[in-house]
Amino acid sequence: MTTFSVARFTSALPAWRRNGLRLMLGAALLQTAACSFAAEDAVSIAPPQKDERVSSSTTETAVLAGGCFWGVQGVFQHVQGVKKVVSGYAGGKADTAQYERVSEGDTGHAESVEITFDPSQVSYGKLLQIFFSVAHNPTELNRQGPDHGTQYRSAIFAESPEQQAVAQAYIAQLDAAKSFNAPIVTKIEQYNGFYPAEDYHQNFLTTHPTYPYIVINDLPKVGQLKQLFADRYSEQPVLLKTSQ
């Protein structure tokens, strides 16, 4: 199990986020989880009309950014057909792929997850459906919930022309159907590498289920996944092995 130090973790956060977490902790102690910080409801959306061709490959990867990686990793760890999910950074350079630097908001990185999946069990398009429906709000620009900055942007880092085509077609489909109450702001960005985050960020939702941020913002997403995608939900999460 990952060893986690609250003091070490909170000291690494930017001041505004440390203060925000203290405020949320106070709110959690004084109110129920149905307080004003409650997570947004998921949106039931149609599956993509265009998806990848069935492949003989045993595994494929998808890199998605949708706000704080704790919740996004936690959601996809409960999806059948997913073999591994890593929290990390994408969009910037290797030498700035550290939490303290990324949190400054000027590295080009977004907090992201790399999903390794079996395309014979779950398609890339189905992962995108879960991404848009449950894992985050694709209409929020450079923010998710209480987190603000370009490092929390909504982005798809397509790793092939086929992934890019599926993502572009799906965004157009959802916007045309007015699936959300505002236009989708998710950007399809050039994939130039993925850099795993520090060990203490990995499996955070599962290993720290009582952490106020998780209780308020992320655990509801797992419940929404189970409700809206019951046929794809796995009760047992696929956890990442770390060195700690």
Query: Could you tell me the CATH number of the domain that includes residue 83?
Result: 3.30.1060.10
Q: Is residue 244 part of a domain?
A: no
Question: What is residue 19's predicted lDDT score, i.e. its pLDDT?
Answer: 45
Could you tell me the CA-to-CA distances from 170 to 50, 132, 233 in Å, in that order? 7, 10, 22
Higher-confidence residue of 239 and 26: namely 239
Q: Is residue 132 part of a domain?
A: yes
Please state the pTM of the whole predicted model.
Answer: 0.86
- Active site positions, annotated: 68
Q: Is residue 81 part of a domain?
A: yes
Q: Is residue 241 part of a domain?
A: no
Asked if residue 20 has pLDDT above 80, the reply is no
Cα maximum dimension of the chain: 53
Question: What is residue 244's predicted lDDT score, i.e. its pLDDT?
Answer: 63
Q: Is residue 238 part of a domain?
A: no
Q: Tell me, what amino acid is at 48? A: P
CA distance 243 to 198: 10
CA distance 215 to 33: 7
**What is the mean pLDDT of the segment spanning 107-116?**
98
Asked if residue 22 has pLDDT above 60, the reply is no
- 169-217 pLDDT, tens digit per residue, is 999 999 999 999 999 999 999 999 999 999 999 999 999 999 999 999 9
Tokens 């760890």 belong to residue: 77
CA distance 183 to 243: 41
Q: Is residue 190 part of a domain?
A: yes
% pLDDT > 70, the chain: 84
For residue 92, what are the domain limits? 6-50+57-232
Q: Is residue 240 part of a domain?
A: no
% pLDDT > 90, the chain: 80
What domain count does the chain have?
Answer: 1
Neighbours of 230 (CB within 10 A): 8
Beta strands per DSSP E along 10-140: 60-66, 82-90, 110-117
Nearest to 86 by CA among 197, 165, 232: 197
Q: Is residue 1 part of a domain?
A: no
